[in-house]
């Protein structure tokens, strides 16, 4: 991989900004991350749509979710050596921010956004798609497991039980490196568990998975 992650930047400043975390000051990579998030979703969705012509919307959605989730993006970022290139503030350097999934995933999305801004969508897709192709090839077509929240919802619906309640218990850490703790409670049968994550969504998924584990024991 070249110093510019396989893309010859016409504007090196875009790459520098993509690799600059907000803890290092401005300009940082959050706006590029916003753009890159949408681009990654589009590139992955298009690839799945083309490669799985018989898969229904649900299977495509679950597959995309598994490919664009934080842990997967962080794994790709590590394979590119992106963490070693990040510009972080003193606090993040001391706490190993270059190894944190949330920071790596955000930086990868920012890098995608920077490539798009530098060269347009076609060049961006040509560079980014190969990062995901090995992962797409490993997926069982149309049979990607549903996430924990979906499985819990379907478990309750099948028994005509009320929807689960998710409640934020705590959010700790600095603004750019938050840890969320969420509870998930179901009424029939009465069960409650907590989960943690670097976002509300991941914390809710962890809590739902914990509740499902308890419901399996009850059964």
19-33, 44-58, 108-122, 168-182: range with lowest mean pLDDT: 168-182
Buried b (16+ CB within 10 A) or exposed e, 80-105: bebbebbbbbeebeeeebbebbbbbb
Q: Is the peptide bond before 92 cis (omega within 30 degrees of 0)?
A: no
Percentage above 70 pLDDT, the chain:
93
Give me the residue label for tokens 């478990």: 155
Beta strand segments in 55-142, E: none
What CATH class does 12-138 carry? Answer: mainly alpha
Query: Catalytic annotation on 213?
Result: no
SS3 of 3, please?
Answer: coil
Kindly tell me if the per-residue pLDDT of 183 is higher than 70. yes
Kindly tell me if the per-residue pLDDT of 32 is higher than 80. yes
Q: Is the peptide bond before 151 cis (omega within 30 degrees of 0)?
A: no
Burial of 2 (0-12, 13-18, 19+ CB in 10 A): exposed
Could you please state the CATH topology (level 3) that the domain comprising 148-218 is classified under.
Double Stranded RNA Binding Domain (3.30.160)
pLDDT for the residue numbered 154: 84
Where are the domain boundaries for CATH 3.30.160.20 in the chain? 148-218
Distances (CA, A) of 68 to 14, 31, 34, 45, 171: 22, 18, 14, 10, 24
Kindly tell me if the per-residue pLDDT of 72 is higher than 70. yes
pTM: 0.68
pLDDT for the residue numbered 58: 83
pLDDT for the residue numbered 177: 67
Backbone phi and psi for residue 172, each to the nearest 5 degrees, phi listed first: -125, 170
Angle, helix 57-68 to helix 30-51, in steps of 10 degrees: 140
pLDDT for the residue numbered 79: 92
Query: Catalytic annotation on 37?
Result: yes
**What average pLDDT does the structure give for the chain?**
87
pLDDT for the residue numbered 1: 37
pLDDT digits (tens, 9 = 90+) for 91-107: 887 778 788 888 999 99
Annotated active-site residue in 33, 37, 70, 147: 37
Annotated active-site residue in 109, 118, 147, 204: 109
Tokens describing residue 43: 């590139």
Where are the domain boundaries for CATH 1.10.1520.10 in the chain? 12-138
Report the alpha-carbon distance of residue 128 to residue 5 in Å, rounded: 10
Cβ atoms of 208 and 152 within 8 Å: the answer is yes
Number of Cβ within a 10 Å radius of residue 8: 11
Report the alpha-carbon distance of residue 65 to residue 86 in Å, rounded: 26
pLDDT digits (tens, 9 = 90+) for 120-176: 999 999 999 999 999 998 887 655 567 788 888 888 888 888 889 999 999 887 766
Which DSSP string corresponds to 32-78?
HHHHHHHHHHHHHHHHHHHH-TT--HHHHHHHHHHHHSHHHHHHHHH
List, edge to edge, every strand of the sheet that includes 190-197: 165-172, 179-187, 190-197
């Amino acid at each position: 991989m070249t110093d510019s992650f396989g893309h010859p930047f016409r504007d090196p400043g875009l790459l520098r900004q993509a690799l600059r975390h907000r803890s290092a000051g401005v300009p940082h990579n959050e706006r590029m991350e916003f753009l890159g998030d949408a681009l990654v979703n589009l590139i992955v969705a298009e690839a799945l749509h083309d490669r799985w012509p018989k898969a229904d919307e649900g299977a495509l959605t679950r597959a995309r979710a598994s490919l664009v989730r934080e842990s997967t993006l962080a794994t790709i970022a590590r394979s590119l050596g992106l963490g070693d290139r990040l510009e972080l503030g003193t606090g993040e350097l001391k706490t190993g921010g270059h190894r944190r999934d949330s920071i790596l995933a955000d930086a990868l999305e920012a890098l995608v956004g920077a490539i798009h801004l530098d060269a347009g969508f076609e060049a961006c897709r040509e560079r980014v798609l190969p990062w995901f192709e090995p992962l797409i090839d490993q997926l069982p077509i149309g049979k990607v497991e549903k996430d924990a929240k979906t499985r819990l919802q379907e478990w309750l619906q099948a028994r005509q039980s009320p929807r689960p309640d998710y409640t934020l218990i705590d959010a700790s850490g600095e603004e750019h490196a938050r840890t969320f703790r969420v509870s998930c409670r179901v009424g029939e049968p009465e069960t409650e568990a907590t989960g943690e994550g670097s976002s509300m969504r991941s914390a809710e998924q962890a809590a739902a998975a914990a509740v499902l584990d308890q419901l399996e024991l009850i059964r």
